[in-house]
Structure 1
Amino acid sequence: MRTETTSPPAASVRRHRPQWPVPAGLLLLSLIPVIFGALRLTELASGAAVTPQNARFFASPVPVVTHIVGVTVYSVLGAFQFVPSLRGRRGWHRIAGRILIPAGLLTALSGLWMSVFYPLPDGYIDVPLRLFFGSAMLVSIILGVDAIRRRDFVRHGAWMTRAYAIAVGAGTQALVSIPWLLLIGPTDVPTRAVLLGAGWVINVAVAEYVIRRRAGKAPHRPVSTPSPAVPR
């Protein structure tokens, strides 16, 4: 008698795929700006010496504190929205979204405020980049909220993925800058601006790849596509 073996259904295979590599990577990526943000808050709270590099923060601490707290909450909590078992829970997605939307808006708005009103030690060569990507994050969140109100879950997921990618840009900027510092040496102002933009561009490119890959796997009927930040 011949016995036949059958492979498990595709849905079963997908169910057992590891769920944590992507969120873990995002948490590690967020760790870099979170650590530097914590150091900045400690510096402000302890009354450290004022230097040309930090004078603007002591002169007006509210925007930078708002930005650090907002981006920390947004990047860390948002990473868990990429865990399939969590984002499939309507209660989790709704509660997390109600925290992440305000945190994301505060992150974008405070970043734009600092770009316009803080005197920057390196001058204003990178201000256009900061304004462009800060505005893109703000618009992405607004469009994501509008999409979920219209119950367009696919567009909601796409816009919130873009917003999250921009928010964690500081981590990628550090990863891009470290090899340069090790292999070439200290950067000048134009190079720092290029590396700053490269971090954001890399993240946005990866986000677009994820969005298109997700759309290619989605069924042809309307489905609810979870995202990093908005309640249903």
Structure 2
Amino acid sequence: MIPAAAGSLRLIELAGGPPLIPENTRMTASPVPVVVHIVSAIPYAVLGAFQFSPRFRRRWPAWHRAAGRVLVVLGFATAFSALWMTQFYARQPGTGELAYIFRLAFGSGMAASIILGFAAIRRADVTRHRAWMTRAYALALGAGTQVFTQGIGNAVFGVSELTTDLMLGAGWALNLIAAESILRSGSSGTGRTTGEARLS
């Protein structure tokens, strides 16, 4: 909800509304990639949450398949717009080379996870499909976790370029650790389910 709220306020500003959050001249000068990122990331986060409910999948399998197709498109738009901003926006003030590397690595990791998840369901491999889509979703939610890692990191270690970079990376890393823990515990229902139709 935190990045969704911030993204919505940024869209209002870019649409000509009042500045409700601190101005970002990089985004106002070139709004297309950030608009693509926000309008794809918010529905990806909201709609994607329902894909992980075993009861929801069993009760509405057709919805799961249809939503999955939409989420693949939204996920790619989210990941590639993030990479677009990383490559072509001026570096965010207060961040360094390490943040740039993290953004490239985790943005590419999200895109790769979606590709691998899609390829797995085309082979009717439900276990790997859910595992890769769980990782992609965890990476997409990194911005929400970074609100807490940066706040705690700045409070404990002080504000510096290195601290900011490391706390950005920690947000993505913690989400991946949580995802892997869920997958290993089996609580995400990652076992192969007979009768679940493959995406086609």
Superposition TM-score tier, normalisation by shorter sequence: 0.7 to 0.9
Q: How does 1:1-232 map to 2 (within 5 A)?
A: 31-46=1-16, 54-88=24-58, 89-122=60-93, 124-125=96-97, 126-181=99-154, 183-184=155-156, 187-214=159-186, 222-223=192-193, 231=199
Return 5+ residue gaps in structure 1 as ranges. Answer: 1-30
Runs of at least 4 residues of structure 1 off by over 4 A? 215-219
| Map of 1:24 onto structure 2 | none
The answer to whether the Cα contact below 8 Å between 1:63 and 1:113 also exists between their aligned partners in 2 is yes
Return 5+ residue gaps in structure 2 as ranges. none
Aligned equivalents of 2:195, 2:110: Cα separation in 1: 19
Q: Against the structure 1 CA distance between its residues 34 and 205, is the aligned structure 2 distance closer, same or farther, given a 3 Å change threshold?
A: same
Shift in Å, 1:90:
1.1
Larger Rg: 1
**Structure of higher RCO (CA pairs closer than 8 Å, 6+ residues apart):** 1
Structure 1 position 160, deviation (Å): 0.4
Contact 1:96 1:231 (8 Å CA) reproduced:
no
Query: Partners of 1:82 and 1:217 in 2: how far apart?
Result: 8
Decide whether aligned partners of structure 1 residues 225 and 139 sit closer, same or farther in structure 2, where only a CA change above 3 A counts. Answer: farther
Residue 79 of structure 2 contacts residue 111 of structure 2 at CA under 8 Å; is this kept in 1?
A: yes
- Name the CA distance, whole Å, in 1 between partners of 2:85 and 2:130: 28
Matched residues, number: 194
Q: Partners of 2:74 and 2:89 in 1: how far apart? A: 21
Are residues 211 and 91 of structure 1, via their aligned partners in 2, closer, same or farther at CA, if it must alter by over 3 Å?
same
Q: Distance in 1 between matches of 2:188 and 2:141?
A: 25
Percent of aligned positions with the same letter in both sequences? 47
TM-score (norm 2): 0.87
Distance 1:39 1:130 in 2: 23
Structure 1 residue identity aligned to 2:144: G
1:144: how far off?
A: 0.5
Is the CA contact (8 Å cut-off) linking 1:66 and 1:107 kept in structure 2?
Answer: yes
Compute the displacement of 1:184 (Å).
4.1
Q: CA RMSD in A?
A: 2.6
